[in-house]
Structure 1
Amino acid sequence: MPEKVLLLIGTKKGAFIAQSDGERRDWALRGPFCETWPINHLVGDPTSGAIYGTGGNEWFGPAVWKSEDLGESWSHSSEGLAYPEGEEPIKSGWSLAAAGETLYAGVEPAGLFRSDDAGRTWREVEALRRHPSRPQWQPGGGGLILHHIVRHPQDPAQLWIAISAAGVFHTADGGESWQPRNRGTRQDYAPEDQRYAEVGQCVHSLVMAAGRPDRLYQQNHCGMYRSDDAGQNWTSIEAGLPSTFGFPAAAHPRDAETLYLLPLNGDVAGRYVPDAKAAVWRSRDGGATWQDLRAGLPQQDAYFGVLRQAMTTDPLSPAGVYFGTSGGALYASADEGEDWRCIAQHLPAILSVETLVVEA
C-alpha cells in the first residue's frame, strides 16, 4: 500500500504536521494546532492512527490533546491530570508514550500519569514520586521534568523514564515499584565524592535500540552512554564526539548498532552546534566510532540548538532522519543521514519531532 509519512512537530506556539508520501521528496505543512498552546511533545499511535500532544504552562495548566483524523480536528482533556490539593500544581505535560488505549504522560514537576481510556481520564502512577530518593531530585535548566518514557516492546509492565535532574528509573511491575538505573553515569557538577551517586544525574535523552530491549542509549548532560543490561550499568561512548554535551538521540528503526546524535558545544558556551557548523553524528557500531554527517546542513553561522525530543527517525527503508531547531527550522534526510535539506523554516522554536507512517 502507498504510505503517508507525517512529521509531528511540537513547538512553543502549537503543534504542526508536515506530510509527504513514501518517497519523502515534497512536504506540505499544516498548523498551528492545539490553539497555539506550548506543545512539548507530539506523538502518533501506529496501532490506532491517533495523534496525541501534551503541553501547557502555568496559565493554561497541563492537558493532553488528541486527534483521530490526522490533525483535522482536536480535543483535549486534563481530567485527573493533577497532584493532590495542597501540593505544587502541575505546570505542563512534557512527554507521552502511546499504545492503543493505554497512554503514559510525564509532567513537571516530575511525575508520571496513566490513562487507560485513550487519554480521556488520567491517574497518577504514585509510586514514582514516593521513591525514597525523591527529596534528592533537583530541577535542571528546563525545570524538574519527566521528559522521556520508554516502553518495553513485548512486556507492558516494563518502563524506563528519564527525569532532569534525577536520572533514569525502571519499573518491572507496571509502576508499583521503581529502581534507579544510573550506575556509570557521572555528575560533573557535583562534589567529587558524589560524581557517581545513585541519583541526581541530568539525563537529556533516552532511547531503546531496535530489536534489543536491553540495549539503551543515553545522552546525558555529562557524556554519552550505552547500556547492554537494561540500564543497570552504563558505559561511556563519547570518545570521538566533538562534545560531551547535547540533548537529542535517535535510534535506527532496525539496526541496534546505529544511533544518531546532535552534539552541542557545551553547557556554558552557548549551547549551539560546535563551531557554528551543523552536523548530525552517526555511529554504526554501538558508539565505538562516530561519523559526522554534514551534506546539506549549514556550515557557517549556525548558532542554533536542538532540544531533547527534537530528533527522530522513521521506519521506512532507507530510514528517514529528522530534527528541528531552536530557531524554527526543520531538517530531513531520506537516506539515513547522508544528505540533508531544510523542509520548513520560520516555525516557532521546535520542542519535539516524531514520525507516524500510515496507509495513504
Structure 2
Amino acid sequence: MRTIFLILLIIASINKGKSQCWEIIYDGGNDNIVFTNLEVLNDSVFWVVATLVEQGQSLGLRTEDKGDSWSIVTWPSSISHPSSIELIDQNSAFIGAFKYSVFKTEDKGWSWDDVDLPPEGGGTQIRYIVFNNENEGWLTVDKGSIFHTQDGGSNWVEKGNNVELGIPSFRGFQAVTDSVLYFYGWHAFSSANSARIWKTINKGDTWNTLNLGLPTSELDFFFLDQTTGWIPCQNNTIYKTLDGGDTWSEYTVTDNSETYGFTTQFTSNSIGWVGGAILDSPNFYNAFISYSKDGGETWARQHLAIDTSYVLEYENDNRIRELHMVNDTLGYAISSRGRIYRYRGRAAECGPAPVLLGTNVLSPSFSWAAAEGCFDGYYFQIGSSPGEDDLLPPTDVGLDTFFHATAPLPENTTAYATVRPYNHQFGPAQSCESTVFLTPDCPPAPVVIDTGYCAGSPLLWGDSLINAPGTYTFPAQALTGCDSTTVLKVEAYAPDTSLIDTFFCSGSDGLLWGDSLLPQPGAYTFAYLNAQGCDSTLQVSLALANSSFSAIDTFFCEGEAFWWGDTLLPGQGLHTLAYRSAEGCDSTLQVTLQARNNSYVELDTALVPGAVFMGSTFYTDTTLTQLHPASNGCDSLTTIHIEIISNTRAAAQPSPWRCYPNPARGLLWAEGPSPNARLQLWSAGGQRIGLPKHSLPAPEEAGRYRYAYNISHLPPGLYWLQITWEGGTALEKVVKM
C-alpha cells in the first residue's frame, strides 16, 4: 500500500513548464523529491534516480519519449538508495549501492538480478558504474577498488592496484576511450583536504595524479577526448585543459562570485554547458545553467524557470546536480529540488510589439508582453525605419519587459521601436514587428501657472524662493520631453475672515463645531486654513432655536386614507405628531381630522333623436357619468340617464291620437285607439314631468278612448306628450297657456 501511495504521489507531480530553451518536463513541487542521478541513453530514453525525503524511499523515473511521459522503476528491497546507475540499452541497466552490491535488469527495471563481484576488503560504497559498450565496463568502490569487465558484468578484474596515493572517495569517473580514463576524488588524510584527478592511458594498469589541486570535493569534470577537458569549481571558475590535464587555464563563469559549478558537458570543442548553484536570492542558492560557444572561455547564463518556495528543512539550495547534452540542441538536467529540465535549442521567436507609455516621446518609455519559445532575454532598439537601429543601437535589457530611453531622440522624426527576443545559442529573432511613433517638433509653447503665497510665507519653486507678487520664468521640460518654459504668475494671498450665523436646539448640549462643543448662544472665533492654505479666521454667531408647536385642521373624503408624511392617520379626530422643524429641532404638530362624504346625483332627461345635449349629439339611450369637485372639497358624482323619444308612425300617416284643447290651461285630453296607452309628459328641455294619475279611459265611440290630465299647475310653455301603446309611439306637441 505504501509503494502504491508513493507512485501516485510522484505521478501526480508530473508537469509541463512554460516553453523556454530549458523547459520543465517534471516538477516535484512541494513533495520533497530530491533527484540524485541522471543517466541518458539516447535522445529519447533516460532514467532519473529520485529520493522521497519524508517517506524515506528511493525509486526511479524512466521515459522513452523525451520526458513527455514517465514510468516508475523500483529497486530490489536490499537497495534503499542507489548511488550509481548505468544504462546499457533500452531494456538493460546496472545499479550500484552501499553495502557493496550491484544489480542488473534486462526488462526495464521490472525485475533485478544480483551481480557477482570479487571479494572487496576495503570500501563498501559502489560509487560509479560506467560502460563503454554492452560488454566493457568499469566499477568503482570508495576507498576500495576499481574493477573492469569485458563480458557485460559477468566477470570483474581488479584495476585499482596501481593508483598513485591510493584509491580515494570517488566523485567522478569517465571512460574517454577504451584505454584513456579519468576519475577524481579526495582523501580525508590529504593536506588541505583538496581533491585530485587521476588519469590512466593504459586501461587502468597504472593511475597517475594530474597537476591540479582542487579546492573542494563537490564538483565534476568532463573530457571531450583524450586531451580536452573541463572542471567546474565552487569559486565561480571553470578550468580547461588542452593537453590531457598537464596544464590548465582558468575562466570565470558568471558575474556573481557566489557561483558554484557542479556539472558540465561539451558537445564540441566550442559548444558546452555548465550547471550548478548561484546565490542570487538571499540565503538561497538557485539553480543556474550557462552556455559557452567559445570552448568555455566566456559564458552566458540561460533562462531557467526557478523559485525559492517549498525549501526543504535540511538544505537551502536548488542546484543543478547533473546535466547531459545529447547534441547541440537537445539535453536534459536534474535539480536537487525535484525538477527535470529539457533543453530544446532553437531560434528565438518574435513576441508582441512594444507599447509606448506616457507622452514623453523624446525620451520614451516602452513595455511589452513576455515572449514565448526559446529565449534568454530581449534586445530593444529604435530606428528610422521598421527593424532598424540607427536611432538607438540594440540594448540588452535581460528579461525585463520595460525600457526607458535616457538620451533624447532627434526632434520631429518618425521612429520605429522594436523588441527582439534572443537566446545565447542562436542569437536574436528576425523581422519582429515595430511600433511607430513621432517625436515632437520642439520647442512647445510655455506653460503658464497661476499661483501665489500667503502673507509672511514665501513661495518655494524648485530651488528659488519667491517673496513678492509678479511674473517669473523658469526653464522646464514638457510632457513630450521637449525643453520648455514655465511662467509663474504669483500673487500674495491675504488671510480670510468669515462670519457664520447658526443655532442649536433647546434641550441639547449645544453645537458641535469640528471638535469643539459650543454650549450656549454667543460669538465664537476659530482659526483655519483657507483654500489657498493661508491662516484665516472664522467667527460663529450662535443662537438658540426653541422647539415649535403647530395645529392644523383638515379632512379626508369618503373611501380615502389620510397620510401625513409617512404616517397613516386611522380616522377622524385629534392626532399628535412629532417632527423636525426647518432648523432641525424637535417639534409637535396637532392634526384635527374630519371625515367628509362624497356627493352622488342622478338625473333623467329625454331627447328627440339627433338632439344636442352638453355639446354632444345623441341618437340612442345613453347614461353619462360626470366627476367634479363638490363644495365640501370631496368628489361629486352625477349620473344622467338620457332617453331618446320619437314617433314610430310613418311620416306620411296621420297620428291616431289627438290632444285637445291645444293650447290648454287646465284639463288636457288625449284621445286614441287603445285603452292601454302609457303617457309621459316632457318639457321642451328634455326634463321628465310627472303627471297625476289619469282617469280610466272612457270610450268616446267604438275603438276610441279618452285620457284626461290636469296640467294647470305647470308653467306656460311648450311640452311634448309621449304616448306609447301596442300600436307604436306617438309624440304630440302641447302648448300650456
Give me the TM-score of the superposition, normalised by structure 1. 0.69
In the comparison of the two structures, how many residue pairs are matched? 289
Q: Distance in 2 between matches of 1:325 and 1:16?
A: 23
Q: Which residue of 1 aligns with 2:370?
A: none
Over 6 Å off, 4+ runs: 14-21
**Counterparts of 1:147-158 in structure 2 under 5 Å?**
147-153=127-133, 156-158=134-136
**Counterparts of 1:42-61 in structure 2 under 5 Å?**
42-46=38-42, 49-56=44-51, 59-61=55-57
Q: Distance in 2 between matches of 1:281 and 1:107?
A: 30
Shift in Å, 1:244: 7.7
The AA in structure 1 aligned to 2:27 is P
Shift in Å, 1:246: 5.2
1:97 matched to 2:86? The reply is yes
Q: Distance in 2 between matches of 1:228 and 1:148?
A: 19
Q: Distance in 1 between matches of 2:164 and 2:260?
A: 23
1:331 matched to 2:292? The reply is no
Of 103, 108, 115, 1:118 maps to 108
1:221 matched to 2:186? The reply is yes
Shift in Å, 1:216: 0.4
The AA in structure 1 aligned to 2:230 is Y
1:71 matched to 2:57? The reply is no
Q: Is the 8 A contact 2:263 2:321 kept in 1?
A: no
Shift in Å, 1:295: 4.7
The AA in structure 1 aligned to 2:107 is D
Shift in Å, 1:243: 4.1
Q: Distance in 1 between matches of 2:34 and 2:14?
A: 8
RCO higher in structure (CA 8 A, sep ≥6): 1
- Which sections of structure 1, spanning at least 5 residues, go unmatched? 1-13, 84-89, 139-143, 188-195, 264-272
Change (3 A) 1:328 1:103: farther
Q: Distance in 2 between matches of 1:20 and 1:159?
A: 38
1:355 matched to 2:318? The reply is no
1:290 matched to 2:248? The reply is yes
Shift in Å, 1:57: 5.8
**Counterparts of 1:263-342 in structure 2 under 5 Å?**
263=233, 273=234, 277-298=235-256, 300=257, 302=258, 305-306=260-261, 310-315=262-267, 318-325=270-277, 327-335=285-293, 336-342=295-301
Q: Distance in 2 between matches of 1:16 and 1:356?
A: 22
Q: Is the 8 A contact 1:312 1:355 kept in 2?
A: no
Q: Distance in 2 between matches of 1:50 and 1:173?
A: 24
Q: Distance in 1 between matches of 2:183 and 2:153?
A: 21
Percent sequence identity is 17
Q: Distance in 2 between matches of 1:213 and 1:312?
A: 22
Shift in Å, 1:62: 3.2
Change (3 A) 1:147 1:279: same
Q: Distance in 2 between matches of 1:27 and 1:217?
A: 29
1:27 matched to 2:16? The reply is no
Shift in Å, 1:316: 5.2
**Counterparts of 1:246-261 in structure 2 under 5 Å?**
247-252=219-224, 255-261=225-231
Of 195, 207, 214, 1:234 maps to 207
Q: Which residue of 2 aligns with 1:172?
A: 150
Q: Distance in 1 between matches of 2:207 and 2:52?
A: 34
Give me the TM-score of the superposition, normalised by structure 2. 0.36
Q: Which residue of 1 aligns with 2:591?
A: none
RMSD: 3.3
Q: Which residue of 2 aligns with 1:205?
A: 172
Q: Distance in 2 between matches of 1:15 and 1:225?
A: 40
Q: Which residue of 2 aligns with 1:132?
A: 119
Change (3 A) 1:305 1:182: farther
Change (3 A) 1:37 1:102: same
Shift in Å, 1:184: 4.3
Q: Which residue of 2 aligns with 1:7?
A: none
SS at 1:175 equivalent: coil
- Which sections of structure 2, spanning at least 5 residues, go unmatched? 1-12, 188-195, 279-284, 308-316, 331-343, 345-737
Change (3 A) 1:249 1:295: closer
Q: Is the 8 A contact 1:164 1:204 kept in 2?
A: no
Q: Is the 8 A contact 1:331 1:340 kept in 2?
A: no
SS at 1:281 equivalent: strand
More strand by share: 2
Q: Distance in 2 between matches of 1:162 and 1:91?
A: 19
Change (3 A) 1:225 1:40: same
Q: Is the 8 A contact 2:263 2:275 kept in 1?
A: yes
Q: Deviations over 1:129-162 (max 9, x none)?
A: xx222x4215xxxxx3x33221124xx2221122
